[in-house]
């Protein structure tokens, strides 16, 4: 099994609800794209669909949700794979 990870920029043209409490405003977001490859016979690689994750600084999470920041937490990861699959966040 092989894993490849790369930095990508995701673009939200409109607000995107990520969790029940968190909605991202329109903008550009740095993300991590991870894809797992499974070797096949003959040397070919079968790549699984990519997964996307963004890290949002805790102070920004606090501003977006209205909740107090969690002490000693610098940033929080959010899986945004579904938002990308639905076209709400687009690589750009």
Per-residue pLDDT averaged across 70-91, rounded?
A: 92
- For 8-43, write each residue's pLDDT tens digit: 999 999 999 999 989 999 999 999 999 999 999 888
From CA 56, how far away is CA 14, in angstroms rounded?
A: 18
* Nearest residue to 6 via CA among 42, 59, 50, 39: 50
Pure H helices in 1-92: 58-65, 81-85
- pTM for the full predicted model: 0.86
Residue 3, pLDDT above cutoff 90: yes
Lowest-confidence region among 32-36, 64-68, 81-85:
64-68
Lowest-confidence region among 15-19, 52-56, 58-62, 69-73:
69-73
15 three-state secondary structure? coil
Residue 72: the pLDDT is: 79
Residue 56: CB atoms within 10 A of its CB come to 19
Residues 6+ apart with CB under 8 A from 87: none
């Amino acid at each position: 099994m092989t894993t490849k990870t790369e930095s990508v920029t995701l673009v939200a043209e409109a607000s995107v609800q990520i969790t029940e409490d968190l909605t991202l405003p329109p903008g550009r977001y740095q993300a991590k794209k991870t894809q797992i490859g499974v070797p096949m016979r003959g040397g070919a690689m079968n790549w699984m669909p990519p997964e996307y994750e963004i890290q949002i600084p805790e102070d920004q999470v606090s501003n977006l949700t209205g909740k107090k920041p969690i002490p000693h937490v610098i940033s929080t990861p959010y899986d945004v794979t579904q938002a990308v699959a639905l076209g709400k966040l687009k690589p750009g």
